[in-house]
Amino acid sequence: MELKHMALTGMLLMSAPVTAPAVAQAQKFITVASTTSTENSGLFKHLLPIFEKKTGIAVRVIAQGTGQALDTARRGDADVVFVHAKEAEEKFIGEGHGVKRFPVMYNDFVLVGPKSDPAKIGGGKDIAKALKKVRSAAAPFVSRGDKSGTHMAELRLWKVAGIDIGGADKGPWYRAVGQGMGASLNTASSMNGYILTDRATWISFKNRGDLAVLVEGDQRLFNQYGVILVNPEKHKHVKRDLGQAFVDWIVSAEGQKAVASYRIGSDRLFFPNANDKGA
Amino acid sequence: MLPLVLDQVSFTVNGKTIIDRISIEIGTGPRTVILGPNGAGKSVLMRLCHGLLRPTSGSIVWRGENGGRRRQAMVFQRPVMLRRSARANVVYGMKLAGVPPRERELRASDVLDAVGLADVAERPARVLSGGEQQRLALARAWALGPEVLFLDEPTANLDPAATRDVETLVGQIRASGTKIVMTTHNLGQAKRLGDEILFLTQGRLVERTPVERFFTKPASVEADAFIRGELPWS
Amino acid sequence: MIEIGQAFGAAATLIAARDPELVGIVLLSLRVSLTAVVFASILGLPLGAAIAVGRFPGRRALIVVLNSLMGLPPVVVGLLVYLLLSRAGPLGQFGMLFTPAAMVVAQTILILPIVAALSRQAIEDAWQEYREQLRSLGAGPLTAAATLLWDTRFSLVTIVLAGFGRAAAEVGAVIIVGGNIDGVTRVMTTAIALETSKGDLPLAMGLGILLLSLVLALNAAAYWVKEAAQRRYG
């Protein structure tokens, strides 16, 4: 009787219907470890239905920083990685975790900052010069600090500018927040700091406050995305055929056209360049 | 299973002696009332007999047949009612005692009838009045058909009318063949319900005397003082 | 302050629109957290009762550990479950990472200590009151535990709801083990985190208000049922 009562209480307590979670859907799917910029900008919402309609393969996107996305794949928890840090991607392949890297598209980074612009960098095109000015003004600068693609690009640009951001030039003006792009932008917006962001996230970002784009158009700000099938020989669960189908499609003429056609308002966010083998 | 034999039973808590070397045999027959001033160890002695406490030294043995402690029951000063109907409270006790399901229901109806709670049998036990709850506690104990029933100050929290009901019921339970062992503060009640008195002070059994003689000619000085001290408030 | 006003507007718009995507997110939230609370209750309530009633070596230490685990950081639980369920982990072969099942596992671990520790407390309080009566009726530890679980049911409802509130409100664990996959593992809290990262603070806050309203509605319903039942059963 007690047990019956207990069971009964249990059910009363959960007055809402409780069903076992849908663990595996019958549908074919792959898991893609990608970056917040591609997810947050809405690109995947545009691309994936087209791909799914054509192939019947659903794509589950885990949006993380590039470093974390590659780590997820290193553990065998994704079938495909779709990220933007060429060096890290090549290292990933060198370790044997990925099969082959294909360039897919690029967008660009922009340096945004407060309209008051204490470092006086607005309107310039030279990113190295702009960063030097930020450094000498010791104006607040927010860094992702999370090993993401954007963070790695930022570190590369400091180096180009001849600034030792990890050492001598580090200071309280340089704030590494260890967060995603959006959270970092929120921080920059609230403290009126400078920040490097990919354009896609910037365009779809709503909490801009007093921030505006100050430096753009420098070749060195290009942000190249690559796609890699996780190596099925290293990770047995990887869905080789389904994953390869996604890689093949995104670099195909049709996939490239789909990338090119994504816009927010009149802004085009990503530029396909799968044919540029050096990208 | 009676008689119950206590041999040199002591009970200490943190070095304080509550029960001090009591030896006694409690048999069928007379209704036994344990009397004594506050802190004499009356309730503890009863709990030792019932098996809720283990003696620190000495032994407590049921000498009769099937010497277990199943065929005994106890009613407390504050009965604990389970959060279910009055009837379910009675049935619960019988279920733990291993009474077959069909018989539980029959006996439950009988005892609830006998204690005058048939009308409220399906009401939640915890919303009954104090007097009703104590009668329900008696019914729950009675339904077990105990050979011995221990009652620890069963009317201490009740008004006179409810006290009378309980005393009447104790008489009926006794008439059905159950040995009664009780503690009380109420000397009038001790006279009405007791056949023999066990008198305790400071954990020691001072005397064991038939009830009339206890109140007229107690054997010990302590009992004499107790009766004279207590009588005006009884 | 304008933004908070906008948030209520956004919440109203969300509810009015009944966007199927949002409905899916809400339903998944409820499904995951309710399933977790069911599992945590099935394990945690008997565990709490066992610790309340049982006497075994290490009991005090276990209580302290359990009480501390109530403050488990969700992100730590998330990480633990992630490492267990990852393909490179010991349970990787089941492919559970980034599924609702993984989220249920994480939330169950997160709230199990809450349900067990709080129910232990409630049941132990009741045990103080019931102990002598139940032992007198012959209840062993198992029976006593089961009886107490049933008799403290009204308090346990509140405890289970506290567990549900914690599960429904946490983001740290589910975002790690679920991956916040659109249409598969996106729940209300991860959606809020996502909208925050997109800088759409009013929408994020609107989702937050919606989440809070759901938890509030559930608690209000449970409170009302509990009060009504308590009045009835005393």
B160 or A27: which carries more pLDDT confidence? B160
A83 and A148 together in one domain: no
Residue A215 lies in a domain: yes
Closest in B70, B93, B127 to C234, CB measured: B127
Q: What share of chain C is helix, strand, coil (3-state, %, to 5)?
A: 80, 0, 20
pLDDT greater than 80 at residue B146? yes
A126 and A213 together in one domain: yes
- Strand, helix or coil for residue C161: helix
- Pair type for strands A98-114 and A222-230: antiparallel
Chain B neighbors of C135, CB-CB under 8 A: 52
Q: Report the mean per-residue pLDDT for chain C.
A: 93
Overall domain count for chain A: 2
| pLDDT of A11 | 42
pLDDT greater than 70 at residue A263? yes
Number of neighbours of residue A192 by Cβ within 10 angstroms: 16
Closest in C31, C87, C182 to A75, CB measured: C87
Confidence of residue A6 (pLDDT cuts 50, 70, 90): very low
pLDDT in tens, A175-192: 999 988 999 999 999 999
On the question of a cis peptide bond just before residue B3, with omega within 30 degrees of 0, the verdict is yes
A118 and A202 together in one domain: yes
Name the closest residue on chain B to residue C128, using Cα atoms. Answer: B80
Confidence of residue A24 (pLDDT cuts 50, 70, 90): very low
Residue A278 lies in a domain: no
Q: Report the mean per-residue pLDDT for chain A.
A: 89
Full residue range of the structural domain in which residue A112 is found: 108-221
Q: Report the mean per-residue pLDDT for chain B.
A: 92
Mutate to test the interface with C, among A2, A5, A12, A13 (most CBs of C within 10 A): A13
A115 and A165 together in one domain: yes
Hey, which residues does B62 pair with through a beta bridge?
B4
pLDDT in tens, A135-168: 999 999 999 998 888 999 999 999 999 999 988 8
Residue A1 lies in a domain: no
pLDDT in tens, A90-106: 999 999 999 999 999 99
Mutate to test the interface with C, among B48, B50, B54, B80 (most CBs of C within 10 A): B80
Starting at the edge strand found earlier in the chain, the sheet holding B4-13 runs B16-26, B4-13, B57-62
Spatial CA neighbour of C151 closest among C120, C178, C127: C127
pLDDT greater than 80 at residue B70? no
| Mean pLDDT on A116-120 | 95
A11 and A73 together in one domain: yes
Spatial CA neighbour of B82 closest among B114, B124, B110, B122: B124
A40 or A196: which carries more pLDDT confidence? A196
**C128 in B contact zone (CB under 8 Å):** no
pLDDT greater than 90 at residue C231? no
Residue A279 lies in a domain: no
- Pair type for strands A211-215 and A98-114: antiparallel
Domain locations in chain C as residue ranges: 2-233
| Mean pLDDT on B172-196 | 94
pLDDT in tens, A198-250: 998 899 898 999 999 999 999 999 999 999 999 999 999 999 999 999 999 99
pLDDT in tens, C158-177: 999 999 999 999 999 999 99
Residue A169 lies in a domain: yes
| pLDDT of A267 | 85
| pLDDT of A36 | 85
A210 and A123 together in one domain: yes
The chains found to touch B (3+ Cβ pairs under 8 angstroms) are: C
Residue B71: exposure state from Cβ atoms within 10 A (0-12, 13-18, ≥19): middle
Domain harbouring A35, CATH code: 3.40.190.10
Beta strand segments in chain B, E? 4-13, 16-26, 32-35, 57-62, 72-75, 148-152, 179-183, 196-201, 204-210
What is the DSSP secondary-structure string of chain A? Answer: -HHHHHHHHHHHH--S-------S-SS-EEEEEEEHHHHHTTHHHHHHHHHHHHH--EEEEEEE-HHHHHHHHHTT--SEEEES-HHHHHHHHHTTSEEEEEEEEEEEEEEEEETT-TT--TT---HHHHHHHHHHHT--EEE--SS-HHHHHHHHHHHHTT--TTTTT--TTEEE----HHHHHHHHHHHT-EEEEEHHHHHH----TTEEEEE---GGGEEEEEEEEE-TTTSTT--HHHHHHHHHHHHSHHHHHHHHT-EETTEE--EE-TT-TT-
| pLDDT of A279 | 82
- C2-233 has which CATH code? 1.10.3720.10
pLDDT greater than 50 at residue B73? yes
pLDDT greater than 50 at residue A272? yes
ipTM of the complex: 0.92
Tokens 């160890």, residue located: B41
Ramachandran quadrant class, C138 (left: phi over 0; alpha: psi -120 to 50; beta: rest):
left
A268 or A48: which carries more pLDDT confidence? A48
